[in-house]
């Protein structure tokens, strides 16, 4: 594989799509050495095939606002790769959504889903619709119009969307209600649903909780304890809320949250009341964090800045792509940061990652750190295929050992003088599953991401999940009260429309 040659061809085909090109380059450079040890990969052009999406749908979304005016947005669905299972990936509603961002997210999703060992492919979708300032009725009408086009391209064995930025329980309810009306079936084709209509226990918390469980294992392997550590978190949405909740429960002190308007520094740390207020801020639909400083004396608001200038032990970017750049990394390192756990998708720019690796501190890549969300979505898909109403299952561990312990990966070699890097382990996991390559030309891509055959059910892949599924979530008591409060607060049931 010649990375520069592949990238030159991609740049010619997809000019100006910087996020997508960045994501592809990062992955190819990471696996280049291992890939080139397998001539069968090159003979079947695996790299060239895997960096291009299977198909991309672009469509017009026409809806009517509360004033009676017609509005027009653009909708997308990028189905990237379904080698090991149906396409799986979220829907993002945000003004910044464009083909480049969705391609990068869909490409990342392939590796993230493969890393969970669950049979799910990679996809992403969304629209440039902005939910900020919209009424429930306007959001409902947009979601219904969006699903009127999307429904023909998705299905429980074809493509299973979920939520992302701008798409929470309310939006999933509207989308799912319209899908059921159009498809005339109740198959649970979207994940992230309310508990009363097919949702899974702790799905709202799963991404943030899973990230903290992953962080805790990173710390343990580095000989540290999460208790007493100070943490800087960016964002204030569902993922940041989950991460702040679990980190606080485990004894850490979360001292920052952030939004598009700036960041909050709270030296006393977040507690239950402050974390609950994060939900109020998000529910206000104003997309700002400044009111936090007025409500909680002792905290400070820094307009237009990012939280990476604060002296902390751990940094957890939880907001959006490329939010932590090289200069931010220098500030964190100068202030003595010990660990970086990337929770957002491609949250760190390449120069920031290089700086953390050069400083020899543990760095966890987003594909692994935030996989708790999609892993729990896999559980929701399983329960829906079994026609279960909810997922009140047993206890689950944060992540399989092969996710957090790269040296155990088969064939992964570490350069002299370097710590094992998790961002290498995530891609090598999928790559080395392809050792036993058979003669069928199409089989190479499938094996690139596949699980062992004996881990799969002989019938539907979702009727009998692999044993390793029990290792996805942390072995911790389920907080029923917390789940109940969340469901009541968002009243997700009322958003289902028929």
pLDDT at residue 255, rounded to an integer = 98
- Which uninterrupted H or E stretch holds 162? strand 159-162
Banded model confidence at residue 242, pLDDT cuts 50, 70, 90: very high
Lowest mean pLDDT across 151-155, 220-224, 243-247, 433-437: 433-437
pLDDT at residue 197, rounded to an integer = 87
Structure tokens at 69: 């005016």
The predicted model gives 123-149 an average pLDDT of 96
Q: What percent of the chain has pLDDT over 70?
A: 78
Give dist(CA 344, CA 346) in Å, integer.
Answer: 6
Lowest mean pLDDT across 124-138, 250-264, 287-301, 468-482: 468-482
DSSP secondary structure letter of residue 33? H
pLDDT at residue 427, rounded to an integer = 55
410-416, long-range: CB < 8 A, 24+ apart = 410/435, 411/34, 412/34
Structure tokens at 275: 């974390």
pLDDT at 166 over 80: yes
Strand pairing class (70-81; 122-127): antiparallel
pLDDT at 232 over 50: yes
**How many residues are listed for the chain in this entry?**
498
- Is 338 assigned a catalytic role? no
Q: In a 3-state reduction of DSSP, which class is residue 390?
A: coil
Q: How many CB atoms lie within 10 A of CB 461?
A: 22
437 contact partners, CB below 8 Å, separation of at least 6: 38, 40, 443, 444, 447
Banded model confidence at residue 282, pLDDT cuts 50, 70, 90: confident
pLDDT at 67 over 70: yes
pLDDT at 450 over 50: no
pLDDT at residue 418, rounded to an integer = 47
pTM for the full model?
A: 0.77
Lowest mean pLDDT across 71-80, 349-358, 391-400: 391-400
pLDDT at 207 over 50: yes
pLDDT at residue 204, rounded to an integer = 85
Which of 205, 289, 201 is CA-nearest to residue 246? Answer: 205
pLDDT at 277 over 50: yes
Strand pairing class (339-341; 363-364): parallel
pLDDT at 300 over 80: yes
Lowest mean pLDDT across 153-157, 212-216, 323-327, 424-428: 424-428
pLDDT at 414 over 80: no
pLDDT at residue 286, rounded to an integer = 85
- Strand-pairing partners, residue 63, are 71
The predicted model gives 210-214 an average pLDDT of 96
Lowest mean pLDDT across 258-267, 331-340, 432-441: 432-441
CA 72 → CA 31, 59, 69, 75, 142, distances in Å? Answer: 42, 10, 10, 10, 10
Rg of the chain (C-alpha set): 21
Give dist(CA 54, CA 190) in Å, integer.
Answer: 20
Helices (H), 14-95: 18-35, 39-43, 46-50
pLDDT at 124 over 90: yes
Banded model confidence at residue 196, pLDDT cuts 50, 70, 90: confident
Catalytic pick among 124, 246, 253, 274: 124
């Amino acid at each position: 594989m010649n990375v520069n040659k592949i990238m030159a061809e991609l740049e010619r085909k997809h000019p100006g799509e910087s996020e997508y090109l960045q994501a592809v380059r990062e992955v190819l450079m990471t696996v280049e050495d291992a890939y080139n040890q397998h001539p069968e990969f090159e003979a079947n052009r695996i790299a060239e095939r895997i960096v291009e999406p299977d198909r991309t749908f672009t469509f017009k979304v026409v809806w009517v606002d509360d004033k009676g005016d017609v509005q027009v947005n653009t909708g997308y669905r990028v189905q990237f790769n379904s080698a090991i299972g149906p396409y799986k990936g979220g829907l993002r509603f945000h003004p910044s959504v464009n083909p480049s961002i969705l391609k990068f997210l869909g490409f990342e999703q392939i590796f993230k889903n493969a890393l969970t060992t669950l049979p799910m492919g990679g996809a992403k979708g969304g629209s440039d619709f902005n939910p900020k300032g919209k009424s429930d009725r306007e959001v409902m009408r947009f979601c219904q119009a969006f699903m009127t086009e999307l429904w023909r391209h998705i299905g429980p064995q074809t493509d299973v969307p979920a939520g992302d930025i701008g798409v929470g329980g309310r939006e999933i309810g509207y989308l799912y209600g319209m899908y059921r009306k159009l498809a005339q079936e109740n198959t649970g084709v979207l994940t992230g649903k309310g508990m009363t209509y097919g949702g899974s226990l702790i799905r709202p918390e799963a991404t943030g909780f899973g990230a903290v469980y992953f962080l805790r294992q990173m710390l343990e392997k580095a000989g540290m304890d999460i208790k007493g550590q100070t943490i800087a978190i960016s964002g204030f949405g569902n993922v940041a809320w989950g991460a702040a909740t679990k980190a606080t429960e485990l004894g850490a002190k979360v001292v920052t949250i952030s939004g598009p308007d700036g960041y909050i520094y709270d030296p006393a740390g977040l507690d239950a009341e402050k974390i609950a207020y994060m939900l109020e801020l998000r529910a206000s639909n104003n997309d700002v964090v400044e009111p936090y400083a007025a409500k909680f004396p002792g905290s400070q608001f820094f307009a237009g800045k990012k939280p990476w200038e604060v002296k902390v032990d751990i940094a957890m970017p939880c907001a959006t792509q490329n939010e932590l750049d090289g200069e931010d990394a220098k500030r964190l390192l100068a202030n003595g940061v010990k660990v970086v756990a990337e929770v957002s998708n491609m949250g760190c720019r390449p120069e920031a990652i290089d700086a953390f690796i050069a400083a020899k501190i543990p760095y966890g890549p987003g594909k692994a750190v935030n996989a708790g969300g999609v892993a729990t979505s896999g559980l929701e898909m399983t329960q829906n295929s079994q026609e279960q109403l909810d997922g009140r299952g047993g206890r689950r561990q944060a992540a399989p050992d092969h996710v957090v312990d790269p040296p155990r990966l088969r064939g992964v070699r570490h350069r002299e003088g370097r710590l094992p890097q998790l961002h290498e382990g995530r891609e090598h996991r999928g790559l080395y599953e392809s050792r036993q390559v058979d003669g069928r030309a199409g089989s190479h891509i499938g094996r690139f991401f596949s699980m062992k055959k004996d881990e799969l059910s002989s019938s539907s892949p979702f009727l009998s999940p692999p044993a390793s599924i029990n290792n996805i979530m942390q072995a911790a008591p389920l907080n029923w009260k917390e789940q109940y409060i969340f469901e009541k607060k968002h009243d997700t049931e009322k958003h289902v429309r028929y």
